[in-house]
Structure 1
Amino acid sequence: MERSSRFISLSGLSGVFAGITALIGGGFAFQLLEANGIDCLNGKAEYSAELIQQLIIIAVAILLLALFFGILFTVRKSRKNNLAIWTATTKKMLLGLFVPLLAGGLFCIALIYHGMFVLVAPATLIFYGLALINAGHYTFSDIKYLGFSEVVLGCIAMFFLGSGFVFWMLGFGVLHIFYGLLLFKKYK
């Protein structure tokens, strides 16, 4: 029954590599901000259009690499266990994941458009967490706990707006690595 109602091909290595990708990309963004005289712990910085464009390129690169590793390790695990990847459950999980992600992405674009940069990191954490909670109905329950952790971290980050970058690195980097290792060990 679990195989038909849950997407169990999700690999913990996907989370580990997504976290590593986020930390490396965050390091690049941190260096870029410092090179432009911006203190990541001060939410009152001026961002040029060119800097915003460079940060968006880094963010898209992080997203694409994380998706690549997620697909790679999930396909590998599915083949190893002779499991179908594209099932009705997979479609439900992806729909549950992408609706909050799409809404959150549009919300973050609006924040950037209106110059509210300090709210982007908390918003990405919150919407991503909600997406994981939603998708968690169709995969391992541990994904829900990662989602709750992301939401809590995003809510805390809203009270420390100048430190959003640090919270983003914790949420997308450290939490992914932690939960990825947990999933890998638990569902090997």
Structure 2
Amino acid sequence: METEQSPIASIHNIRQMMERSSRFISLSGLSGIGAGICALLGAAYAWQLKNGLEEAGIDYRSLAFATGSDLQKQLLAAGACTFIAALCVAVFFTYLRSKKTGVAIWGTTARRLLWNTSVPLAIGGIVVYRLLDLGLGGLVAPCCLLFYGLALINGSKYTVGEIKWLGYCQLVLGVINLWMIGHGLILWAIGFGVLHIVYGIAMWLKYERNNNN
């Protein structure tokens, strides 16, 4: 039996080595959960602003879509804080997982992953800035979802394959949002919040739960 299992074990080890060298496998499911929670908190803040204005009889959408309005500045600041918080959480849990798996958090594969996700995100940021400059704030939420989805799909070949399905879901929500402009906050919360949490839980159950036992 040992002679039969030895080649299988060797093949398994070789496969693991090849996977580690070609894919960044230190992404933690807890990173997705943490990022999703940050997104939901940011959406809750924006929702409170919306409700406060509506109770005062002020049109939330007109202010949110108006270039340079105080509300738009508040929303952009909240979005920036949410992004930074989510990024810090993701890096923290990824660092912990990289220590546990013995895989360096920064290497050739990590750089490829970063580059392939950063390019679509950077272009998306330029598009969003121009939309705001043109007073087309209603298209910001769908563009965020669409470019983020493209970034995930583009980077999925350098990490766990399941991340591309998260990207596809973001694309679907982004396309839906193009025809539901007034529901951007809800779809944004679903895409960046709920889906990240669902993805994070699924990844933790599949890749990390057994390793923690």
State the TM-score bracket (shorter-chain normalisation).
over 0.9
Does residue 1:134 correspond to 2:151, yes or no? no
Q: Deviations for 1:83-140, whole angstroms, at most 9, x for unmatched residues?
A: 1111100000000010000000111111111111111110000000000001101000
Equivalents in 2 of 1:113, 1:30: separation in Å?
A: 23
Which residue in 1 is equivalent to 2:137? 117
What is the distance in 1 between the residues matched to 2:49 and 2:172?
A: 28
The Cα RMSD (Å) is: 1.5
In the alignment, structure 1 residue 169 sits paired with structure 2 residue 189: yes
Give 1:46 deviation, angstroms.
Answer: 3.1
Contact 1:133–1:143 (Cα < 8 Å) also in 2: yes
Gap runs ≥5 in structure 1: none
Counterpart of 1:64 (choices 81, 84, 90) is: 84
Q: Which has the larger radius of gyration?
A: 2
Provide the C-alpha distance between the structure 2 equivalents of 1:179 and 1:43, rounded to a whole number of angstroms.
32
Deviates more, 1:111-120 or 1:67-76: 111-120
Q: CA deviation at 1:44?
A: 5.1
Q: 1:68 to 1:137 in 2, by over 3 A?
A: same
Separation of aligned partners in 2, 1:36 and 1:113:
23
Q: How far, CA to CA, are the matches of 2:77 and 2:112 in structure 1?
A: 30
TM-score, normalization by structure 2:
0.84
Q: Which has the higher contact order (CA 8 A, sep 6+)?
A: 1
Distance across 2 between alignment mates of 1:102 and 1:44: 26
Deviations 1:149-169 (A, max 9, x none): 101110011111111111101
Corresponding residue SS for 2:162: helix
Tell me how far apart the structure 2 counterparts of residues 89 and 97 of structure 1 sit (CA, whole Å): 12
Identity of aligned residues (%): 44
Counterpart in the other structure of 2:121: 101
Question: Does residue 6 of structure 1 match 2:11?
Answer: no
Higher relative helix content: 2
Query: 1:67 and 1:54 mapped to 2: Cα distance?
Result: 20
TM-score using structure 1 length: 0.94
Offset at residue 43 of structure 1 (A)? 8.6
Match of 1:146 among 161, 166, 169: 166
* Contact 1:43-1:163 at 8 Å conserved across structures: no
> Is structure 2 residue 47 aligned with structure 1 residue 30?
yes
